[in-house]
Chain A
Amino acid sequence: MRRLLAAAELVAALFLLAIALLTSGNVVLRDVFSYQIPDWYDGARMLLGIALFWGVALATYYGSHICVDALWEHLDTGGRRQLDIVATVCTLAFLVPLAWMVWVKVAGTGTQGTMDLRMPLWIFYSVASVGTTVAVMLAIARIVLLWRGETDRLRPPALDDQAEATHVA
């Protein structure tokens, strides 16, 4: 499970790299050779959407969303765990209709395609959509693990010695 999630996170993160390379590659080709990479624009958008939906799913599991800690930090370990269960249940209540409705959106995408190559959008939307479905499953897993007190398994894999606390803008 941990390795699977770490792999998913790495793939989503590589999509960000792909956006950077696709966009700058296109800029160079356009400015130097008057050529453009077909669908670089829609391609970058789709990569971004997929990466972020999967990133949100992982943030839900690891509990690394931005939260108001005012109440939480005045609680003891047990209280914190209970509050986290309540919060995750609320999050799940949001994610279930979200995942459902995003699939509805995918189903309604029809013949829509990318601007240049008319690659069907529903394919990209589906990959993003799987991310929201995974988010639902991960939220359930988080609730179970919190319930059992296995909070260690919810810690995000360490990146390296650099501090991890680089949240928010």
Chain B
Amino acid sequence: QDKPVEMKFAHWLPPTHSLSKTGFEPWAKSVEAASKGSIKVALYPAQQLGKAADHYDMARDGIADMTWVNPGYQAGRFPLIAAGELPFLVGKPGTGSAAIDAWYRKYAAQEMKDVKFCFAHLHVGTMHSKKPITEPSQLKGMKIRSSNGTNAAFMTLLGATNVQVSAPEARDALDKGVADAIAFPWDSIVSFGIDKAVKYHTDMRLYASDFVWVMNKGWYDKLAAGQKKVIDDHCNNDWAGKVGAAWGDFEDGGQAKLEKSAGHTIVKLTPQQLDQWKKAAEPLYGQWVQAADKAGFKGQEALGELRKEIEARKAN
């Protein structure tokens, strides 16, 4: 029997959030079972150990042993993984998560070198608004609560302004007209009660947000060989796909809920309209390649590889 250890696992979502149920808790239970109880996972939700944007540093610094990180919260720090945020690149969260994980695994040791990378996943969301939105030109002059840096840059590119409000405040901001539209995942629109404020939901894959699970290196290094194996078996591409599918599918299920509820309209796009959106997003791809080059990667090549992983898994 290996010496029992505790893993302090910090994230910033409330314990009742769907990812807690579909990701953190099943993963923690599985680790505990596979290690026959020699690794005990203690979850610290809701920013109990630090602010959302500090979670990468918290794992690096040993404030927590494992953290859940949104690399997009620290603009410019992780330019490579920001590829996962590019609009219209990924359509399906489950296979998309597996794709981004498979792709990023090669680069993680370089870009996230101060931590031990566990896996990456993503979710996909769209635009929810008070008036139907079909074309990118409609966004000019609108006030948007955007979802991450890449999404905010896209909105600015289209002539919209970004409003800074937290997710719990978003509903009120929309209600009162501080914001006109919000980029958000599907089910969260319902669970945050934002469906009371926005009635139109454009049926497209406007943005993605990606996430990584990372570990403190010292904590991992001290584990016994058997415990390391348990962690390795839980930090692989399978789990990336599993967590990505469980959470992403749950979020996407919100579309059906909204479709059925009275007063909500799912705004469909014609292929031409979708093309307009994709065309509008093209400068962001160029910017990403530039940023990746500047950080010492081969941007164009890396983007090609990512596209290949996505196509291989039919995740677009």
* A36 and B162 contact, Cβ closer than 8 Å, known pairs A30-B143, A115-B149, A116-B156: yes
* Most chain A CB neighbours (cut-off 10 Å) among B114, B140, B149, B161: B161
The interface bits of chain A over 107-120 (1 if a CB of B lies within 8 angstroms of the residue's CB, else 0) are 01111111110100
Q: Do residues B143 and A115 form an inter-chain contact, with CB atoms below 8 A?
A: no
Chain A residue contacts of B143, Cβ below 8 A: 30, 34
Chain A, residue nearest B148 (CB) = A115
Q: Restricting to A104-133, which residues have a CB under 8 Å from any CB of B?
A: 105, 108-116, 118
The interface bits of chain A over 35-60 (1 if a CB of B lies within 8 angstroms of the residue's CB, else 0) are 11000010000000000000000000
Q: Do residues A36 and B161 form an inter-chain contact, with CB atoms below 8 A?
A: yes
Q: Do residues B76 and A113 form an inter-chain contact, with CB atoms below 8 A?
A: yes
> Which residue in A30, A34, A36, A115 is a CB contact (below 8 Å) of B75?
A115
**Does B280 sit at the interface, judged by CB under 8 A?**
no
**Does B93 sit at the interface, judged by CB under 8 A?**
no
Q: Do residues A34 and B141 form an inter-chain contact, with CB atoms below 8 A?
A: yes
Bound CA span A35–B164, Å:
14
* A112 and B161 contact, Cβ closer than 8 Å, known pairs A30-B143, A34-B141: no
B129 to chain A, nearest CB (A): 15
- What is the interface residue range for chain B against chain A? 20 to 34
> Which residue in B75, B114, B156, B163 is a CB contact (below 8 Å) of A113?
B75
**Does B295 sit at the interface, judged by CB under 8 A?**
yes
Q: Do residues A34 and B161 form an inter-chain contact, with CB atoms below 8 A?
A: yes
Q: Do residues B164 and A111 form an inter-chain contact, with CB atoms below 8 A?
A: no
Bound CA span A36–B60, Å:
35
**Does B84 sit at the interface, judged by CB under 8 A?**
no
Bound CA span A118–B156, Å:
14
B259 to chain A, nearest CB (A): 31
Q: Restricting to B109-168, which residues have a CB under 8 Å from any CB of A?
A: 114, 140-143, 149, 152, 156, 161-164
Chain A residue contacts of B156, Cβ below 8 A: 116
Q: Do residues A111 and B141 form an inter-chain contact, with CB atoms below 8 A?
A: no
A23 to chain B, nearest CB (A): 10
Chain B, residue nearest A40 (CB) = B164
Q: Do residues B161 and A30 form an inter-chain contact, with CB atoms below 8 A?
A: yes
* A111 and B79 contact, Cβ closer than 8 Å, known pairs A30-B143, A116-B156: yes
Bound CA span A105–B149, Å:
22
Bound CA span A109–B56, Å:
12
Bound CA span A41–B162, Å:
10
Chain B residue contacts of A30, Cβ below 8 A: 143, 161, 163
Q: Restricting to A92-110, which residues have a CB under 8 Å from any CB of B?
A: 105, 108-110
**Does B293 sit at the interface, judged by CB under 8 A?**
no
Q: Do residues B162 and A111 form an inter-chain contact, with CB atoms below 8 A?
A: no
Chain A, residue nearest B149 (CB) = A115
Ordered by A's residue number, 23 sampled pairs between the chains whose C-beta atoms are within 8 Å are A30-B161, A34-B143, A34-B161, A35-B161, A36-B161, A36-B162, A105-B57, A108-B57, A108-B60, A108-B114, A110-B77, A111-B77, A111-B79, A111-B295, A112-B74, A112-B75, A112-B76, A112-B77, A113-B75, A113-B76, A115-B152, A118-B75, A118-B76
A: which residues have CB within 8 A of B? 30, 34-36, 41, 105, 108-116, 118
Other A-B contacts than A112-B77, A113-B76, 8 sampled, CB-CB below 8 A, are: A34-B140, A34-B161, A35-B161, A36-B161, A108-B57, A111-B76, A112-B76, A118-B75
